[in-house]
């Protein structure tokens, strides 16, 4: 991937000095020059400048006055003051006003480049910390894809194949099949693995807020915007952005995503400068694109832009031979997380789990195993434990241990109702606790005859 060069502005009233800066810095940076404080401020307003090398002593408007205005325009612009030895006291004053550091003339090239390197390293740390603060904790309870079936072996091979290129990837499949895990696996195997992986759930963010979430905003761009906020596209710079549930995005927002993908630039809300972004885009959805495109709900041009490399995740029904492996994996994980010591599942219990249709796929299995590990009174999970120890389920277990469908449905209804009561009917919060998407929760409320109570 081509690295985006940092924009550095050098400000000095001596032409020879500006030429020296260009000679030293132009190989690794985009170098802009100004000979006065006024020109410097005009350049900062027009260009996306990350670092300014600012001479303290200049005619008409001093470096100190210029520094104050730079910090008013954009407090996040780093400034290194350049001063003569006799002006060190003024340079110290500049640091108090927000300058990063100062260098004295005549300076050594290594001294200057080392100081610039420290500034840019600090900027990268600040950006990464901002990214870490904004990334929501992973709702999945497992950390890697699991499977040995033919379907999963094909997925693993495809992940390895696409990780070496930077093309956009569109992951489709039912809810709970591991679309986000697949996106993470691609990122971790790619040349971007040491850069951020940023997830955006497009279904969880109201459309009127999604643009600012993705592209950020400038201070004063709307009521309450007291300071600049970087969007997820900038936070993912150098890495990967995962747009989950992209099928829920409005056509208007789709057009802005298409432009960002084609131009490789974004515009912050209220901003006047287009910001270049170096990211890989992976998206996922469970919608029917053919139907959505025909109904005008999804742009055909964006679909083709996203679908350069398609990956379809198999449902758990298509890879039932993986169920025993998944059971063992989740049992080990939840034994550790919950400080339990469950030794395993009986063959009868495993066969019943294999026979289940798993409409919620791997996520549904994961949630069930967690409950079994948490509530089991014995050292081993038997068939009766799958009835989840509700009164109705125990009655069903006495009559017919094979009626797993009815038992799971009974548990689901009771458990979902309990979570919704705890959240005061907040469906978004309840879906997060349950480890499912809100759209899946709405579907379950309808199927379990709970919709009237919570709509």
Residue 306, pLDDT > 80, answer: yes
CATH number of 321-454: 1.10.8.60
Residue 422 · residue 408 · CB < 8 Å: no
HSE of 115, CA atoms in CB hemisphere, 13 A: 19
Residue 96, pLDDT > 60, answer: yes
What is the overall mean pLDDT for the chain? 85
Q: pLDDT digits over 36-94, tens only?
A: 999 999 999 999 899 999 999 888 889 999 999 999 988 889 999 998 767 677 878 88
Q: pLDDT digits over 191-248, tens only?
A: 999 999 999 999 888 888 899 999 999 888 888 788 888 999 999 989 999 999 999 9
| Full-model pTM | 0.66
Ordered by start, the domain boundaries in the chain are 7-134, 150-312, 321-454
Q: Can you give the pLDDT at residue 141?
A: 33
**Percent of the chain residues past pLDDT 90, beyond the cut:** 49
Fold identical between 7-134 and 150-312? yes
Superfamily of domain 7-134: Response regulator (3.40.50.2300)
Q: pLDDT digits over 356-375, tens only?
A: 889 999 999 999 999 889 88
Superfamily of domain 150-312: P-loop containing nucleotide triphosphate hydrolases (3.40.50.300)
Please count the other Cβ atoms lying within 10 Å of the Cβ belonging to residue 165: 12
Higher pLDDT, residue 174 or 423: 174
Q: Can you give the pLDDT at residue 3?
A: 66
Q: Can you give the pLDDT at residue 265?
A: 93
Q: Do strands 274-276 and 265-267 pair parallel, antiparallel, or not at all (unpaired)?
A: antiparallel
Q: Can you give the pLDDT at residue 146?
A: 86
Of 282, 302, 278, give the one whose Cα is nearest residue 292.
302
- Alpha carbons 342 and 344: distance in angstroms, whole number: 6
């Amino acid at each position: 991937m081509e690295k985006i060069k940092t924009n550095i502005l050098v400000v000095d009233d001596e032409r020879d000095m500006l030429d020296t800066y260009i000679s030293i810095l132009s190989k690794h940076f985009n170098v802009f020059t100004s000979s006065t404080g006024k020109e410097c401020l005009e350049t900062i307003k027009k260009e996306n400048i990350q670092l300014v090398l600012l001479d303290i002593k200049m005619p008409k408007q001093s470096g100190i006055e210029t520094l104050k205005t730079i910090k008013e325009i954009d407090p996040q612009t780093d400034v290194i003051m350049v001063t003569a030895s006799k002006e060190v006291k003024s340079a110290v004053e500049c640091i108090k006003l927000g300058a990063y550091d100062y260098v004295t003339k005549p300076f050594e090239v290594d001294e200057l480049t080392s100081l610039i390197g420290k500034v840019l390293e600090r900027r990268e740390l600040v950006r990464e910390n901002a990214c870490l603060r904004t990334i929501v904790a992973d709702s999945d309870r497992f950390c890697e894809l699991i499977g040995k079936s033919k379907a999963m072996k094909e997925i693993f091979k495809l992940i390895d194949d696409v990780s070496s290129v930077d093309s956009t990837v569109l992951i489709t499949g039912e809810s709970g099949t591991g679309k986000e895990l697949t996106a993470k696996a691609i990122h971790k195997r790619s040349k971007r693995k040491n850069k951020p992986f940023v997830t955006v759930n497009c279904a969880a963010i109201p459309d009127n807020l999604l643009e600012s979430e993705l592209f950020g905003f400038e201070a004063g761009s709307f009521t309450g915007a007291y300071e600049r906020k970087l969007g997820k596209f900038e936070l993912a710079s150098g890495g990967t952005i995962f747009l989950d549930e992209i099928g829920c995005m409005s056509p208007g927002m789709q057009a802005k995503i298409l432009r960002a993908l084609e131009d490789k630039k974004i515009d912050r809300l209220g901003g006047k400068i287009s910001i270049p972004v170096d990211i890989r885009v992976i998206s996922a959805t469970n919608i029917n694109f053919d139907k959505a495109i025909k109904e005008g709900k999804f742009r055909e041009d964006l679909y083709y832009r996203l679908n350069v490399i398609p990956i379809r995740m198999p449902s758990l029904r298509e890879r039932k031979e993986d169920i025993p492996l998944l059971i063992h994996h989740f049992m080990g994980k939840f034994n550790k997380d919950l400080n339990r010591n469950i030794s395993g599942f009986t063959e009868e219990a495993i066969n019943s789990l294999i026979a289940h249709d798993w409409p919620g796929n791997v996520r549904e299995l994961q949630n069930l195993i967690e409950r079994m590990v948490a509530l089991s009174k014995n050292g081993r999970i038997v068939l009766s434990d799958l009835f989840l120890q509700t009164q109705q389920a125990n009655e069903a277990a006495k009559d017919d241990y094979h009626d797993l469908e009815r038992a799971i449905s009974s548990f689901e209804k009771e458990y979902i109702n309990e979570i919704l009561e705890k959240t005061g009917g907040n469906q978004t919060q309840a879906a997060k606790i349950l480890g499912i998407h809100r759209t899946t929760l709405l579907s379950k409320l309808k199927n379990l005859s709970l919709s009237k109570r919570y709509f």
